[in-house]
Amino acid sequence: MTTTRYLILEDGTSYEGKAFGSLATTSGEIVVNSTMNGYQEIITNQVYHNQIIVFTQSSIGNTGLDQNSYESVQPTAKGVVVREYENLATDHFKRISLDKYLKQHNIPGIYDIDTRQLRHHLQKVGNMKASIVDVDDEHAFDQLTATVLTNQQVAQVSTPKPYANPNDGDNVVVIDFGLKFGVLRELSKRKCNVTVVPYDTSSERILDLDPDGIVLSTGPGNPNDIKPGVLEMIRNVQSEVPLIAFGLGHELFAIANGAKLNPLFIEHHGSNHPIREIITNELLFADQEQGYQIDFKSVDHSKLFITYLDLINGSIQGLRHRDYPAVSFQFSPDGSPGPKDRDDIFDDFIETMATRRRQAYGF
Amino acid sequence: MDSNINKVLLLGSGPTQLGIENELDASAFEKLMALKKMGIKVIFINDNPFSVVSEEIQPANVYYQEINFENVKRLIEKEKPNAILPTVSGLNGLQVTWQLIDSGVLERNHVQILGISKDNIAKIINDNNLNDLLSEINEPIISSKIVNDYEEAFDFVRGIGFPVIVKPISPNRDTSRKLCSNGEELQAALEYSFSRTYVNQCLIEQSIVGLKEIEMVGVRDVVGNKILVSGLEDMDPIGIHSADSIIFAPTQTLVSQEYQRLRSATFKIMDALNLNGTCHVQFAQSRTDDKYYVTKVSPFFTRNTMLASKATGYPISYISGFLELGILLTEIKLPERFGNSLAIMEPTLDHTVVKIPLWPFEDVPDADRHLNTTIKSVGSVIGIGRSVEEAIIKAMHSSQYSPRDILPTAQKMDEDSLIRQLIHPLENRMLILIEALRRGFSIDELSELTKIDQFYFYKINQLLKIQEYVKNHPLCSEAVKIGHKYGFGDGMLAELWNTDIMSIRKINQDNGFRVTYKEVEPSAGEFIEKTNIFYSSYELENESSPFNSKSALVIGRGGNQLGPNTASDYYTTQVLIELHKLGFKTIIMNTNPNAVSLVPHLSNKQYIEPIQLGNILNIVEIEKPEYVFLPGNRHYLTKQLRKFKNLKVIILPPDQEKTSFNKNKANTAVDLFIDGNNILPITTTTLDTANNKNSLKYITNYYQPMKQHTKYGNYLIDKSISMLKNSDYQGLIQVLFDYDSLTDQFEFIGFRPIRITETAFLSKITGVNWVRVLVKKNVGNVDFNRLEKMVKPDHYLRVANMISQFPFNQLRANQHAGSTQQEVGARLEFKNIN
């Protein structure tokens, strides 16, 4: 028999729904994702640390979870809200059903929610906290109001120790702010010899690894909350080796180079916004997991070029350093999930590393 | 945009047939809107008398001629257009365009082709060229080879692996195909096939039967910006024509990586073809590994392009109209009601759409009902829901397997036949799937037999459980609530419980169960897009509110079926246009994705809902329209709606029940319009049948004026007027006569309201839109004097001829002369009187 549960919002709104996954009581920031395929990649993306994910896709779970689509080992999302879920594991990658997976990882889900109304509501009221609870009484709302969400998300999801993903190509160090596996897959495909290091690793230790290139990964939370040492590290390494940054990494790269970041009224998670590459005027689509945007006026044009723009909300989607081979992207070109319209960004990175090596060593 | 383009030749759809419904006309309509907006003059050629587009263009610029090389060539030489637009004319349009390129006609007349380059048209109409192109860009295609002997055959199959299909190469279109899964079968198939070929060659082809069929629809602009509008997933596997498949949007059982691979492949193909406009690509996706094959590329408007458009609310045809002119995606300005960025956002859905085909086997009983690679469906309906179940139930109810039983049974069928039909499906396959689940076949087993993804069986099973629960809890409020959630409308619940719909509505009222309407729009609620396309659900938020000014609800005809077929939709469209002119906000309700009446420009609001009493009453409740228009012959619905005395229901054509005949045989008719006491003769017509029986049922050939008009025209007209003078007939009335050439006498047969198809014919040939006149008569005033001046049934310069078309060849049915019930479409021609 299905259990009735409630999704309650900080502004006092309550939605009655039915439980699936874990029956834990949970709180987090509520965000909406409008990508149609790839619920597995979304739920397992560390960018959703401490967040409750609302899917606009009306039915998720139609295919089971497969071994090739995890974006982390341990998902850290706080909840899943959907109109309808299907507890199937039917396709050829058959591994595990959504309900079972969420139970295993203690993530509560709630379905039978008018997610379209919920989205309309959130578009109006903006980002806020929410809980999935058994009873939507005053106590539950008090608890929600009193809940203080951590601002140490990166520290909680970053790897505590370095680890290697060996291969016989370029030597790449990935700084883990909440790394999603899509980036590792793209690097593996290009035979990169990867070392993943904790987010607060010093620039000396990173450069000691003798990297051909450095990746600043995506990750959760507010970029303004990051330890100052991280920005220092970015400034130190960007002048030494080719650097590429995504998502939170891009935001930190911008801050490290003098830009300011402001929160969006409502976070944007989806792959439906056209992104324009300024130099070519081409449009592309890619997964965007964005809660903050760079203040246009704060960009120091003597240091940074703006390379990509979101044509819907006007936000900066890409930067390039004028002096160093360093580039950053707000979006995720790795296509897990979402389109792979610009996965050649990784090829460019490999090419940059090669050019650099030729310049430095002549081969 | 190329500013030299100011006159475009638009190729129409030609007559409706299996495979071409009114989606091309609907699409042409949207193109016309785009071209008009750019100030371009349009020349249109189409011999389909039920085209809506041909009435939206200056009569002097419309050519009612067959779309073939000779006619189009003559037209180009006469009209000297700068450009030709062949993308809403199906494959025929591209073929004609190719002939025009090949013969140098386009070059000589300086006509450019919009949307696709001339080199690439050759690639599309020739499979070999297309396969070369696909191989060049490393897109996988089905391997095939013509072999001369056994050794060559076995070598080839060793390379590609089993299963394969073997066909003899033979000039007389031998259609025997043998599927082989191992060497032994291959040996046998080769023996068989080599014995049936004179040229001693066989074709061996990799078999992809049973794979998942996935379709992608995208748009691209001239500099290469691309948007994937929608993915579509066929429930039925490869081996059943996509038009005969049940289709879901968005895709249901693809994981992200699979989906993105096909999306990227679609983009690569559009780039390789260097096209600007829309493209529809079909794929076969393996169920056991990552492999896929490109099976079909259509860089023109297709029915499933229309489905993608209806599923997302993204106006593909309108937008591609601009793209074809060379305007960029970022430059397109959409009508105000859309958000600014709609054209450049990749649609994302928060609902599910299901398309179920309709087949003509009841009307053509001797056709083979097996579903295979030849198209057999005549129309289709869609259901939209917030859940997959809801969408399935709505579509099934609209497709009317049985008006009473929502999930029908086939209890009498024996087990062997059931299994045979699971493997070799007929058009009633949904019924068979349901029955098999009822009998306890396991989902694994069913999926294995049918090659249908398990997901769909889970969903159907869920619906069976819900129906069982609802059935066993009659008039219980919880059952109503659950029923609503899964798409069981009030009318269906009433049917299930064998009760009156009002008692269900009472339960709704007592429990506060309110229907909510959700908008079909492409941003999944991120932006407020006023597409004004709605479907129902039972949730929290209702997004549809009534108009501030007077409105009228027009009830569309639903899926296309033999008989009046697309003429019904033409009729509906004209009602909408006229009501709009008369100052009404117009609301259309329809389930036919291909209907012109669902073109967004033609109404103020659209409801995609089953055309059933409960759904109509719900819409009436929210919209409070002044009138409810019911075009077409729909006696059951008419009867149901007339019970509601507070509704002003207008049935068109009127007076259908007043038909009266002395005999069932006629060959001559006088058409008249009656408004109050005024009687206006419109024309005389000769009625003809293909089997020379002249029985009313078989009249499918019309000449206007009648053959002996000069001699007897006025005589018959006067006679008709005097007979109608004191009758209570109103509107468009036909007086039927039977002429006996032996006695040279006309026998009076009877009166009837002018049929839908003939009304369209009359409008095309008289220049007066008679549907609109009828609407005016019902809700406004007819300017009879003006009408009288426009219609002069005495001097004719040309003879108009409407010839009905039948689907017998396409269905390989052994029949030649068809009845009006079996019409699939018609052709219209004019001949000058010398």
Residue of B nearest to A266 (CA): B526
Q: What is the pLDDT of residue B655?
A: 67
Q: Determine the residue of chain B that is closest to A64 in CA distance.
A: B255
Residue in this structure with the two tokens 């970022």, named with its chain if needed: B330
- Overall domain count for chain A: 2
Other residues' Cβ atoms within 10 Å of the Cβ of residue B771: 26
User: Same domain for A194 and A331?
Assistant: yes
Q: Which residue has the tokens 């070369």?
A: B132
In a domain, B416, yes or no: no
Task: Tell me which of A120, A146, A172 is where a domain ends.
Answer: A146
State mean pLDDT over A112-137: 97
Q: Are A105 and A210 part of one and the same domain?
A: no
d(CA A228, nearest CA chain B) in Å? 35
Same domain, A181 and A276: yes
What's the pLDDT tens digit per position in A10-23? Answer: 999 999 999 999 99
Inside any domain, residue B86: yes
The answer to whether residues B597 and B663 belong to one domain is: no
Q: Domain range holding A294? A: 153-361
Handedness of CA A77, A83, A89, A91 (dihedral sign): negative
For chain B, give the longest Cα–Cα distance.
85
CA B734, CA B716: separation in Å to the nearest integer? Answer: 12
CA A71/CA A335 separation, integer angstroms: 11
Q: By CB neighbour count within 10 A (0-12 exposed, 13-18 middle, 19+ buried), where does B816 fall?
A: exposed
Q: What is the pLDDT of residue B403?
A: 52
Measured between beta carbons, which residues in chain A are less than 8 angstroms from residue B526?
34, 119, 123, 270, 272
Distance CA B541, CA B517 (A): 8
Examine the pLDDT at A176 and tell me if it is beyond 80: yes
Minimal Cβ distance to B260: which of A83, A91, A335? A335
- Domain closes at, from B297, B325, B347: B347
Task: Compute the nearest-CA separation of B538 from chain A (Å).
Answer: 9
CATH, residue B767: 3.30.470.20
CA A331 → CA A246, A293, B522, B801, distances in Å? 7, 12, 21, 61
Q: Which residue has the tokens 């970053």?
A: A158
pLDDT for res B412: 83
> How many CB atoms within 10 Å of residue B760?
30
B54 φ, ψ (degrees, to nearest 5) = -65, -20
Domain containing A178 — which CATH number? 3.40.50.880
* CA distance linking residue B825 with residue B567, whole number of Å: 8
pLDDT in tens, B225-281: 999 999 999 999 999 999 999 999 999 999 999 999 999 999 999 999 999 999 999
Q: What percent of chain A has pLDDT over 70?
A: 98
Cα separation, A38 vs B257, whole angstroms? 8
Dihedral angle at the C-alpha atoms of B384, B386, B388, B389, nearest 10 degrees?
A: -90
Domain check: are A162 and A203 in the same one? yes
Q: Among partner residues B256, B347, B518, which is closest to A38 by beta-carbon distance?
A: B256
B525/A119 CB distance under 8 A: yes
Given an 8 Å threshold on Cβ–Cβ distance, is B349 in contact with A57? yes
Residue of A nearest to B528 (CA): A120
Statement to judge: residues A226 and A187 lie in one domain: yes
A180 and A296 housed in the same domain: yes
Contact A90 B351 (CB under 8 A): no
Minimum CA–CA partner of B523 in chain A: A272
DSSP per-residue letters across B307-325: HHHHHH---HHHHHHHHHT
Q: To probe the interface with B, which of A4, A32, A35, A59 has the most B CB atoms within 10 Å? A: A59
- Is the Cβ–Cβ distance between A184 and A165 less than 8 Å? yes
Are both A313 and A185 inside the same structural domain? yes
> A60 CA to chain B: closest CA distance, Å?
9
- Our CA-based measurement puts residue B462 at a distance from the nearest CA of chain A, in whole angstroms, of 11
- Contact state of A120 with B344 under an 8 Å Cβ cutoff: no
Residues A248, A297 within the same domain: yes
A112 to chain B: which residues are within 8 Å by CB?
485
Asked if residue B684 and residue B799 are part of one domain, the reply reads yes
Q: How many CB atoms lie within 10 A of CB B337?
A: 13
Task: Using the predicted structure, report yes or no on whether residue B51 has a pLDDT greater than 60.
Answer: yes
Residue keyed to tokens 């709609």: B342
Of the candidate ranges A203-217, B269-283, B568-582, B804-818, the one whose mean pLDDT is the lowest: B804-818
Taking residues B775-780, report their average pLDDT. Answer: 93
- Amino acid A94: pLDDT: 61
The predicted pLDDT at position B174 comes to 57
Claim to verify: residue B673 and residue B631 sit in the same structural domain: no
Q: What is the mean pLDDT of residues B376-395?
A: 95
Residue B126 falls within a domain, yes or no?
Answer: no
Asked if B551 and B625 count as a contact pair (C-beta separation under 8 A), the reply is yes
* Residue indicated by tokens 């507070």: B646
Assess if residue B148 is contained within a domain. yes
Q: Are residues A117 and A168 located together in one domain of the fold?
A: no
- The answer to whether position B72 is within a domain reads yes
A180 with A202: CB under 8 angstroms? no
Set of chain A residues whose Cβ sits within 8 Å of the Cβ of B255: 37-38, 40, 63, 66, 69, 91, 93
Same domain flag for A162 and A136: no
> Taking the mean position of all CA atoms in its chain, how far away is CA B167?
33
pLDDT at position A44? 97
Report the chain A residue with the minimal C-alpha distance to residue B443. Answer: A90
Residue B305 belongs to a domain: yes
Query: Pick from B263, B458, B525: which is nearest to A116 by CB?
Result: B525
B176 lies in some domain: yes
Are the beta carbons of B252 and A68 separated by less than 8 Å?
no
User: DSSP string spanning B166-181?
Assistant: EEE--TT-----EEES
Among the partner-chain residues B345, B349, B351, the one whose CB lies closest to the CB of A273 is: B345
Angle, CA B516 vertex, CA B514 and CA B522 arms, to 5°: 170
Average pLDDT over residues A194-222: 97
Tokens of B704: 């206007």
CATH number of the domain where residue B175 is located: 3.30.1490.20
Q: Are residues B584 and B668 in the same domain?
A: no
The verdict on A98 and A158 lying in the same domain is no
Residues B129-165: pLDDT tens digits? 899 999 999 999 999 899 999 999 999 999 998 999 9
The pairing of strands A108-111 and A79-81 is parallel
Last residue of a domain, one of A146, A167, A196: A146
| Residue B345 to residue A270, Cβ atoms within 8 A | no
ipTM of the complex: 0.96
Does B248 share its domain with B108? no
**Whether residue B591 is found in the same domain as residue B698:** no
> Which residue, B155, B182, B206, sits at the end of a domain?
B206
SS3 state of residue A72:
coil
- Domain assignment present for B336: yes
- The residue segments making up the domain with residue B179 are 144-206
pLDDT of B173: 55
- Distance from the Cα of A48 to chain B's closest Cα (Å) equals 18
Cβ contact A117:A83 at 8 Å: no
How far apart CA B577 and CA B29 sit, in angstroms, is 13
Chain A residues close to B342, C-beta within 8 Å: none
Of A123, A146, A169, which closes a domain? A146
Closest-CA distance, A58 to chain B, in angstroms, reads 5
CATH code of A53's domain = 3.50.30.20
- Quick one: average pLDDT of A210-225? 97
Confidence band (pLDDT; 50, 70, 90) for B171?
low
Q: Which of chain B's residues have a Cβ under 8 Å away from the Cβ of A342? A: none
Are B763 and B700 contained in the same domain?
A: yes
The vertex-B71 CA angle with B321 and B93, nearest 5°, equals 35
List the single best residue of A90, A275, A285, A332 to mutate versus B (max B Cβ within 10 A).
Answer: A90
B222 shares its domain with B185: no
Give the pLDDT of residue B303: 95
> Do B571 and B666 belong together in one domain?
no
**Residue range B294-301: mean pLDDT, rounded:** 95
Q: Which of A57, A271, A282 sits opposite B346 (nearest CB)?
A: A271
Reported confidence tier of residue B593, pLDDT bands at 50, 70, 90: very high
pLDDT exceeds 70 at position A222: yes
Residues of A in Cβ contact (< 8 Å) with B346 = 271-272, 274, 285, 339
A211 shares a domain with A103: no
Do B639 and B665 share a structural domain? no
Is the domain of B192 the same as that of B95?
no
CB contact under 8 A, B257 and A312: no
In Å, how far is B258's CA from the nearest CA of chain A? 10
Please give the Cα distance from B130 to B182 (Å, whole number).
Answer: 30
Tokens 């005589």 correspond to: B715
**Nearest-5° Cα angle at A100, B231 to B449:** 55
Residue in chain A closest to B262 (alpha carbons) equals A339
At residue B664, what is the residue type? N
Instruction: Find, among A8, A19, A15, the residue nearest to A117 by Cα.
Output: A15
* pLDDT bracket for residue B660 (50, 70, 90): confident
Calpha distance B667→B665 (Å, rounded): 7
SS3 state of residue B391: helix
Q: How many domains does chain B have?
A: 5
